[in-house]
C-alpha cells in the first residue's frame, strides 16, 4: 500500500514541479521518491536499479556496465528466443543498452521497474528486427511461428498463446486465431499462462 | 470488490502488461489502477512473473559485447565533448607499432581497471572500426561473417587459434582472421596483451 501511495504522490509532485523548476529536477524528484518507496518496501534490488539509472543519467559509464552485468543475460535469453541468429542477437543486446544510455533521463519510475523497462525494450527491438527479416524472407514466417518453443509439441495451448504474443509479437487476437483458440477464452488462457510462469520460476 | 476481482480475473491486465491492449483500453486500465490498489498490485505482480521468467531463462552473452558497448559509448561521449575524429591508418602486413604512435601515446589510452577485455575506440567509419584492446586472459570463441578482424600486437604476447591452427604473436606481429573461421585468443604473457584491432567490412 505504502508503495502505491508514494508512487502516485510522486507523479502529482512531478506535475507541479514542471511548472516551477526544470523537467530534469522533476524527474530526479520522482526517481528519489520512487527510490524511497522501494526502500520502505524492502526491495533492495529495485532500489539499486534506480540508483544505477540516476548515475547513468549523470553520465556514469561504469554504472551502465553494472546494469549490463545484472540484466544482460536475462535480456539475451529473450532476444535469442525471438531472433535465431547469434550475430543479430548480439547487435540487439548492444543497441538496447545504447538506448538506456541515451534515454535514462526519460525513464519514469512511477510507471514500471527498471528491469521491466529493459525487458520491453529488448522484446520490441527483437520483434521489430524479426519482422524485417520475415518481410525479406516471407517463406520463413510459418516456420518461425512453430519453432518458437523448444518443447512446443507438448506445450499447453496457454503456453503457446503466451509465447506467440511474448516472443513473436502477435496481437492476442492473432495468436488466438493461429492456435484456433476461441477469442472469448483468449484472455483467460493468457492469465493462466502467466500464472504458470510464476509457478515455474518459483521452483 | 467482487467486480474488481472479476476484472482482475478476466485477463485484461495480462494483455495490458504484454502491450496487447488498444490505447483506449490501456487508458481505462491506467485509470482503474489509480483508483483500485488491487488492480495496481496485480499489474506489478504480472510484471514480476515476467521478470522472474526472464531471469529463469537467462543466456550468457558473448564476453566481447560488453567491452565494445562501453567503448562505443565512451567514444560517442568523447566526440560529443569536442574530441576531433581521427582516422588511424589501415592495418596491413607491413604495418608497424610506430604508425599508431599518435593514438598509443595518448595519456588517456590506458588500461587501469581489472576487466578481462578492455577496449577504447580510436577511429570509426561505417567501414572500419579501429580500437586499442587489452586482453587479460582470453577472448571467447567467435566467427565473423561480414567483417575481417585485423590485429597488430603492441605489448605482451598471445596465441590465436583458428580451428586447429595455432599462431604465436609477439609485439609488432600482424594477423588477419579469415571470415567464417572459429577463432580464440589466449594471452601467453604475464601482462595484458595490448593490440591494435580493426574490424573492416568484408
pLDDT in tens, A125-151: 999 999 888 888 776 554 444 444 444
Q: What are the domain boundaries of chain B?
A: 4-56, 65-201
- Please report which residue ranges of chain A form alpha helices under DSSP H: 2-20, 23-40, 44-57, 61-82, 86-103, 114-136, 141-147, 157-168, 172-178, 183-202
Higher per-residue confidence, A32 vs B27: B27
Closest CA to B130 of B149, B115, B158: B149
User: What is the rounded average pLDDT of the residues A158-172?
Assistant: 88
Top residue of A38, A41, A76, A117 to mutate, by most chain B CBs within 10 Å, is A76
Does the beta-carbon distance from A201 to B14 stay under 8 Å?
Answer: no
Is residue A38 within 8 Å of residue B39, measured between CB atoms? Answer: no
CA distance B172 to chain A (A): 30
How far is the C-alpha of A34 from the C-alpha of B12, rounded, in Å? 26
Give per-10-residue mean pLDDT for chain B (202 aa): 85 90 92 94 94 95 94 96 95 96 94 89 95 91 83 96 92 91 91 95 85
Q: Evaluate if residue A30 carries a pLDDT over 70.
A: no
Does the beta-carbon distance from A73 to B68 stay under 8 Å?
Answer: no
Please list every residue in chain A whose beta carbon sits closer than 8 Å to the beta carbon of residue B58. 73-74, 76-77
Instruction: Provide the pLDDT for residue A87.
Output: 84
Instruction: Provide the pLDDT for residue B67.
Output: 95
Given the cut 0.85, state whether the ipTM is greater than it: yes
Please list every residue in chain A whose beta carbon sits closer than 8 Å to the beta carbon of residue B73. 61, 64, 98, 101
Name the A residues in 16-55 with CB < 8 Å from any B CB. none
Q: Kindly state the cell numbers that stand for A156.
A: 499447453
Please list every residue in chain B whose beta carbon sits closer than 8 Å to the beta carbon of residue A76. 58-61
Does the beta-carbon distance from B58 to A195 stay under 8 Å?
Answer: no
Does the beta-carbon distance from B73 to A194 stay under 8 Å?
Answer: no
- Mean pLDDT, chain A, rounded, equals 79
CATH architecture of residue range(s) B65-201: Sandwich (2.60)
In percent, the amount of chain A with pLDDT more than 90 equals 41
For chain A, the farthest-separated pair of C-alpha atoms sits apart, in whole angstroms, at 59
pTM of the model: 0.83
User: What is the rounded average pLDDT of the residues A99-109?
Assistant: 95
pLDDT in tens, A49-87: 999 999 999 999 999 999 999 999 999 999 999 998 888
Does the beta-carbon distance from A77 to B65 stay under 8 Å?
Answer: no
Top residue of A90, A113, A186 to mutate, by most chain B CBs within 10 Å, is A90
Nearest CA in chain B to A174: B20
Amino acid at each position: 500500500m505504502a508503495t502505491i501511495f508514494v508512487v502516485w504522490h510522486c507523479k502529482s509532485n512531478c506535475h507541479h514541479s514542471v511548472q516551477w523548476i526544470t523537467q530534469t529536477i522533476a524527474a530526479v524528484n520522482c526517481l528519489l521518491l520512487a527510490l524511497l518507496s522501494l526502500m520502505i518496501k524492502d526491495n533492495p534490488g529495485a532500489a539499486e536499479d534506480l540508483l544505477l539509472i540516476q548515475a547513468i543519467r549523470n553520465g556514469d559509464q561504469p554504472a551502465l556496465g553494472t546494469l549490463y552485468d545484472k540484466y544482460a543475460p536475462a535480456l539475451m535469453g529473450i532476444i535469442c528466443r525471438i531472433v535465431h541468429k547469434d550475430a543479430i542477437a548480439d547487435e540487439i543486446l548492444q543497441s538496447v543498452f545504447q538506448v538506456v544510455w541515451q534515454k535514462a533521463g526519460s525513464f519514469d519510475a512511477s510507471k514500471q521497474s527498471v528491469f521491466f523497462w529493459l525487458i520491453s525494450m529488448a522484446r520490441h527491438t527483437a520483434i521489430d528486427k524479426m519482422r524485417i527479416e520475415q518481410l525479406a524472407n516471407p517463406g520463413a514466417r510459418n516456420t518461425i511461428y512453430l519453432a518458437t518453443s523448444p518443447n512446443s509439441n507438448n506445450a499447453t495451448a496457454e503456453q503457446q498463446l503466451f509465447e506467440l504474443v511474448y516472443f513473436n509479437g502477435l496481437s492476442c487476437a492473432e495468436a488466438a486465431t493461429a492456435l484456433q483458440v476461441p477469442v472469448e477464452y483468449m484472455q483467460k488462457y493468457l492469465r493462466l499462462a502467466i500464472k504458470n510462469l510464476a509457478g515455474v520460476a518459483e521452483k | 470488490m467482487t467486480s474488481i476481482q472479476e476484472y482482475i480475473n478476466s485477463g485484461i491486465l495480462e494483455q495490458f502488461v504484454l502491450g496487447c491492449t488498444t490505447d483506449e483500453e490501456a487508458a481505462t486500465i491506467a485509470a482503474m489502477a489509480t483508483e483500485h490498489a488491487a488492480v495496481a498490485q496485480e499489474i506489478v505482480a504480472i510484471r514480476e512473473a515476467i521478470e522472474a521468467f526472464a531471469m529463469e531463462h537467462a543466456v550468457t552473452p558473448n564476453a566481447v559485447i560488453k567491452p565494445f558497448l562501453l567503448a562505443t559509448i565512451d567514444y560517442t561521449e568523447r566526440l560529443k565533448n569536442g574530441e576531433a575524429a581521427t582516422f588511424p591508418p589501415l592495418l596491413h602486413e607491413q604495418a608497424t607499432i610506430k604508425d599508431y604512435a599518435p593514438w598509443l601515446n595518448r595519456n588517456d589510452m590506458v588500461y587501469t581497471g581489472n576487466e578481462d577485455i578492455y577496449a577504447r575506440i580510436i577511429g570509426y567509419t561505417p567501414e572500419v572500426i579501429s580500437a586499442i584492446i587489452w586482453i587479460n586472459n582470453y577472448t571467447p570463441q567467435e566467427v565473423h561473417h561480414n567483417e575481417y578482424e585485423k590485429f597488430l600486437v603492441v605489448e605482451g604476447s598471445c596465441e590465436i587459434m583458428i580451428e586447429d591452427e595455432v599462431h604465436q604473436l609477439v609485439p609488432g606481429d600482424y594477423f588477419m582472421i579469415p571470415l567464417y573461421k572459429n577463432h580464440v585468443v589466449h594471452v601467453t604473457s604475464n601482462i595484458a596483451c595490448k593490440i591494435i584491432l580493426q574490424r573492416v567490412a568484408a
